[in-house]
């Protein structure tokens, strides 16, 4: 592990910043405040000499909205599943995504609905609390 990754890993002592699982070898450095990316249109004008036509080609490339957030102070260790699920969300957006899983499961998953009907799943109204929040509560 390089020095920068070691410093990020040390922030939690090797636990996922969000779910608190013990990080395996393949952990991610998550941007706590997301970089945010928007497609940036780039236009190219070029002349097709054979037909003497001017054509315009537009390509898109994703560019960070907040490149200053790509800084060690904003990087936290995360397990791949939390990092990928959080995506480009803020921590409150991530919390909202997790809350909505129950709604989504009740709408679309027959397996979930059956497991619930037979008492194998009990839903709770508990708030989603992340690992790093539990550390501050103590
Ligand atoms: Zn996690």
Query: Ligand 1: distance of its center to the CA of 89 in Å?
Result: 15
- Show Cβ contacts of residue 83 under 8 Å, excluding neighbours closer than 6 positions: 28, 30
Please report which confidence band the pLDDT of residue 59 belongs to, taking 50, 70 and 90 as the band edges.
Answer: low
Query: Ligand 1: distance of its center to the CA of 52 in Å?
Result: 57
Nearest to 73 by CA among 133, 132, 11, 135: 11
26 and 45 assigned to the same domain: no
Q: What is the pLDDT of residues 62-109, one digit of tens each?
A: 677 788 888 999 999 999 999 999 998 999 999 999 999 999 999 999
Query: Ligand 1: distance of its center to the CA of 48 in Å?
Result: 52
Query: Ligand 1: distance of its center to the CA of 28 in Å?
Result: 10
Query: Ligand 1: distance of its center to the CA of 83 in Å?
Result: 7
103 and 87 assigned to the same domain: yes
pTM of the complete model: 0.78
Domain around 54: 36-68
64 and 12 assigned to the same domain: no
Q: What is the pLDDT of residues 1-48, one digit of tens each?
A: 899 999 999 999 999 999 999 999 999 999 999 887 665 555 555 454
pLDDT at 125: 85
pLDDT at 41: 54
């Amino acid at each position: 592990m390089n020095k920068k990754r070691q410093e990020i890993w040390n922030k939690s002592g090797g636990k996922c910043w969000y779910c608190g699982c013990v990080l395996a070898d393949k952990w991610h450095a998550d941007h706590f405040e997301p970089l945010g990316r928007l497609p940036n249109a780039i236009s190219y004008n070029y002349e097709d000499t054979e037909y003497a036509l001017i054509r315009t080609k537009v390509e898109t490339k994703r560019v960070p909205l907040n490149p200053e957030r790509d800084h060690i102070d904003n990087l936290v260790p995360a397990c791949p599943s939390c990092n990928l699920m959080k995506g480009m969300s803020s921590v409150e957006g991530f919390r909202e995504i997790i809350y909505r899983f129950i709604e989504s499961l009740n709408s679309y998953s027959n397996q979930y609905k059956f497991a619930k009907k037979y008492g194998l799943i009990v839903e709770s109204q508990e708030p989603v609390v992340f690992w790093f929040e539990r550390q501050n509560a103590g």
